[in-house]
Amino acid sequence: MPTALRPIDRPRGPRAVLFALCLWGALLPPALAQSACPAAAWPLWDQFVQRFVQADGRVIDYATAQQHSTSEGQSYAMFFALVARDRARFDKLWAWSVANLAGGDIGARLPAWQWGRQPDGNWGVLDPNPASDANLWFAYALAEAGRVWREPRYTAQARTLLAQVAALEVADVPGLGPTLLPASKGFALSGSGSRTWRLNPSYLPVPLLRAFERLDTPGPWKAVGASFQRVLEGTTPKGFAADWVAYEVPEGAARGAFVRDAEKGDVGSYDAIRTYLWAGMTPRSDPLAPLLRRRLDGMAGALRSAAVPPEKVQTATGQAEGQGPVGFSAALLPYLRTLDARAALKAQQERVRTLLLEAPPGGQPPYYDQVLGLFGTGWMEQRYQFLPSGRLQLRWEKACPHQSAPTTTP
């Protein structure tokens, strides 16, 4: 007979309740097990859903004139729903995205990046060009949901998306190799005896690339990571990331050089803040982690003498201006923790607590700040972490192991 737990071994207090629920849940059918072992409350996610997510799964940024929804917003919300163990909402978010952004068939086209009120008053796709960062987050959320919820359909859809991204949004750029473009059209330009590629460093979280190296072994993802390294090395002279960068290759040349982006210049602001966020969440053991810490140390330096992150930085000179919103502070929490910048981390945590986590309903910040807040504070609260393999480690997997696939050492 198995040895019974001695009284001193039995969990007590709140842990005893959780233990009993999870033990009971392991004996229940899957449909009942989820309610038997509930995930921890996530107030910021609940607020986000109430403010920005329709019942049918559409995420709306009400601050825009078109009341638009974007593929980025849909993919981020799917990731948060997975972290929150909110499978019903995860399914609705994905179903809405496929039906409205991909014409009902994810195998036939990549999701359009923007949907909303059209000039004639009707609702529909505003810009059919797909956004590669959203497609990576869609694929990652689906792949990890397929693993933890044992749903092969999700995994198959993730592979379908990745194959399309590899075919349509990855270009072999001279001197860089396979490189992720922001979209399938409009970012590879020719003229005046040269070719120019416009790139967005914030589109590439390294942990996602690691996951794709396992999910799609023949794919270009390892090479895309090497290209990303060259982009960072060539565009961060003062330790700051730019929103947009440009790479110009003379006609017939085997390699080119990074130049000032013709449209956005060398400003680092609302896009670039995510580059620090992803860098902070990259495991220390990742081969690119030392590069990320070294090439992106400018923001930590700026916060040694400023209480608030700058809204804009001229990446060529390091000149900063303005005060970034609270979402910037939230995005920098993992980055500051990883760099062990304790004083700056404490100051930004206090700002986030006051203006985001404890803000009254009428004083809640806008959509993008809340998105950055969910990423940054969710990681800091260890609701999720990225393992060296790229696999997602979820807090609720530990509490309810019977509801996820068997784990393996990363």
Active site members: 72, 133
Are the C-beta atoms of 111 and 151 separated by less than 8 Å? no
Cα(118)–Cα(124) distance, integer angstroms: 7
3-class DSSP assignment, residue 34: helix
Compute the distance between CA of residue 262 and CA of residue 279 in angstroms, rounded to an integer.
26
Which token pair is 44? 């910021």
Nearest CA among 405, 398, 395, 402 for reference residue 29: 402
**Cα separation values, 219 from 160, 166, 210, 224, 287, Å:** 12, 7, 12, 10, 19
Count other C-beta atoms under 10 Å from residue 246's C-beta. Answer: 23
Short-list 63, 43, 53, 97, CA closest to 270: 63
HSE toward the beta carbon, residue 132, CA cutoff 13 A = 28
Report yes or no: 98 and 113 within 8 Å, Cβ to Cβ.
no
